[in-house]
């Protein structure tokens, strides 16, 4: 059910903050004036970017997260909009500290002073789903306490219901929307954002990510205090670093920004391919830098609520696609897309290869500052419509994370060559997983099973060769059966359509006869035959429409 109250609130917020002036400023307001009559009023004095940010804050977490993603895309936004939306990262208006304290005491089952030596009532940071307070344990360890916003789940569910209803409508009306799997994308996003409301899940994610990088110089993940954590409260080690967006402070410390940017790329690919467990919410508010050794800076990651994983098949195809991109092997890319089912098997492989070539050639041998991966993805999806290319919902988080990495890389070191940095990593990973050594290891691991199977190989080959013709015959029969079924369904659909049309005609005729009879009754008190015919036609027509 569409939450009408929420729709009214969204429209009201758009009107209150005069968001109708944004299309006008971008010179695309030729249709918005019909949706927003207020566009005829004078333009407010408050800057558009600030009004946009305030509107997103008022609408809540789903919209705030949209703004967070936009804030990293300085290649798509003006400096004014990017700077204003960056305020959404950790400066969302806080809720009352008394509410936070009551939640903490309820969750840990004891008074605040029994668990903490000190507790700062002033929030350290306030985000869309939760806010964070500084504290110390009775042992003296410095910690941060994360508390879920009260009543936030209902707001999120209402927004998601509205977005899902819109996705269903678009899929019903648009073939492009069906190709993009909008409903599945929204459902996946629903799982993702609702997962942020369970701090026990975030605790488990944090522990695992910390274990994955325990001995790595690339990334540090804070320690979690499980005994003080619950669904609505998370207590973690307080780590101090420089926000990744604070370039002035990073430069003051003499940080090697080139190395930091390269380590960011390496950290991302290591999470995706080595661990298959990647931090999927890497906006600037969640990433800090340890500058204790400026020549070898490392990252500090917080807020591990959103984690992405791939299937082994997608992981392998993605790795091979990336290497093919690096090697400009467009034929291999076309082949991999077809094998993985990402494009229709009936698509013209040569034409798809040519399309990929045209898109990718300008993409190589250029510094990151001149490349927009987001623009490339948009161009790819647009060009791939001819080949029935379907967006893979399981890759949406990965694409979002890669866009964040691109945005961060632009801020740190605009001349970073993302591909030169990543290629050695991908080549090493492919050798380890699909090279001769990997094949030999697989053979050794499966040795006992292979030895057991070896004596039966001749028999299996002979049986298989005998069964091939039968399998071919069955395939032909199944194809014919599918064609017959499709034909029968089309015939049934046409029959139902004719029935509905006939029923609708009878209903209209019946109403006409009844109306005529009604007028006769009023005039002279007659019309019994016409009345009976009208009622019969209406009833029969209604039945036909219902059955159709």
Burial of 240 (0-12, 13-18, 19+ CB in 10 A): exposed
Residues near 282 by beta carbon (within 8 Å), at least 6 away in sequence? 268, 301, 401, 404, 405, 408
Residues near 160 by beta carbon (within 8 Å), at least 6 away in sequence? 62, 186, 189, 190, 193
Catalytically annotated residue among 159, 281, 303, 417: 281
Helix (H, G, I), strand (E, B) or coil at 198: coil
Measuring CA to CA, how many Å separate 279 from each of 47, 311, 353, 508?
A: 34, 16, 33, 61
The yes-or-no answer on residue 226 being catalytic is no
Helices (H), ranges, 309-454: 312-326, 330-339, 349-360, 373-383, 396-412, 418-434, 436-445, 447-453
Residues near 535 by beta carbon (within 8 Å), at least 6 away in sequence? 510, 514
Beta carbons of 282 and 302 less than 8 angstroms apart: no
Q: What is the DSSP string of 16-84?
A: HTTTTHHHHHTT--TTHHHH-GGGGSPPPSS-HHHHHHHHHHHH-HHHHHHHHHHHT-TTTS-HHHHHH
**So which residues are the catalytic ones?**
281
């Amino acid at each position: 059910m569409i939450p009408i109250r929420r729709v009214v609130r969204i429209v009201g917020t758009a009107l209150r903050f005069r968001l109708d002036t944004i299309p006008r400023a971008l010179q695309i307001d030729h249709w918005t004036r019909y949706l927003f009559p207020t566009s005829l009023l004078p333009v407010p004095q408050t800057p558009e970017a600030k009004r946009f940010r305030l509107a997103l804050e008022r609408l809540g977490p789903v919209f705030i997260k949209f703004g967070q993603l936009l804030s990293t895309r300085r290649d798509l936004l003006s400096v004014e909009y990017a700077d204003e939306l960056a305020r959404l990262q950790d400066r969302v208006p806080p809720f009352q500290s008394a509410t936070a304290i009551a939640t903490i005491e309820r969750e840990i089952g004891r008074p605040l002073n029994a668990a903490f030596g000190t507790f700062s009532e002033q929030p350290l940071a306030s985000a869309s789903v939760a806010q964070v307070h500084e504290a110390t344990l009775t042992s003296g360890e410095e910690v941060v306490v994360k508390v879920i916003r009260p009543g936030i789940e209902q707001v999120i569910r209402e927004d998601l219901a509205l977005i899902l209803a819109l996705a269903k409508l678009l899929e019903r009306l648009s073939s492009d929307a069906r190709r993009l799997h909008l409903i599945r994308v929204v459902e996946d996003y629903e799982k993702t954002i609702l997962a942020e409301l369970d701090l026990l899940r975030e605790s488990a994610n944090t522990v695992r990510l910390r274990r994955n990088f325990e001995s790595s110089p690339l990334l540090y993940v804070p320690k979690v205090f499980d005994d003080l954590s619950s669904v609505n409260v998370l207590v973690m080690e307080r780590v101090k670093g420089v926000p990744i967006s604070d370039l002035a402070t990073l430069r003051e410390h003499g940080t090697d920004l080139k190395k930091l940017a390269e380590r960011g790329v390496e950290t991302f690919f290591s999470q995706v391919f080595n661990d298959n467990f990647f931090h999927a919410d890497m906006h600037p508010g969640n990433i800090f830098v340890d500058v204790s050794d400026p020549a070898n800076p490392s990252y500090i990651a917080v807020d591990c609520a959103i984690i992405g994983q791939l299937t082994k098949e997608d992981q392998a195809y993605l790795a091979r696609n990336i290497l093919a991109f690096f090697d400009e092997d467009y034929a291999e890319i076309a082949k991999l897309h077809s094998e993985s089912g990402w494009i229709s098997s009936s698509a013209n492989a040569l034409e798809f290869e040519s399309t990929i070539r045209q898109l990718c050639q300008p993409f190589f041998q250029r510094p990151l500052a001149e490349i927009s991966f987001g623009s490339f993805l948009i161009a790819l999806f647009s060009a791939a419509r001819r080949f029935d290319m379907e967006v893979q919902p399981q890759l949406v988080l990965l694409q979002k994370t890669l866009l964040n990495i691109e945005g961060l890389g632009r801020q740190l070191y605009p001349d970073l060559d993302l591909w030169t940095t990543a290629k050695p990593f991908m080549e090493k990973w492919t050798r380890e997983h699909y090279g001769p050594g990997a094949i030999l290891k697989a053979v050794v691991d499966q040795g006992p099973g292979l030895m057991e199977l070896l004596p039966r190989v001749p028999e299996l080959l002979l049986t298989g060769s005998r069964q091939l013709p039968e399998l071919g015959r069955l395939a032909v029969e199944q194809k014919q059966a599918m064609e017959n079924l499709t034909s029968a369904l089309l015939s049934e659909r046409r029959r139902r359509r004719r029935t509905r049309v006939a029923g609708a005609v009878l209903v209209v005729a019946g109403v006409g006869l009844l109306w005529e009879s009604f007028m006769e009754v009023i005039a002279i008190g007659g019309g019994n035959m016409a009345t009976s015919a009208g009622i019969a036609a209406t009833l029969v027509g209604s039945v036909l429409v219902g059955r159709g």
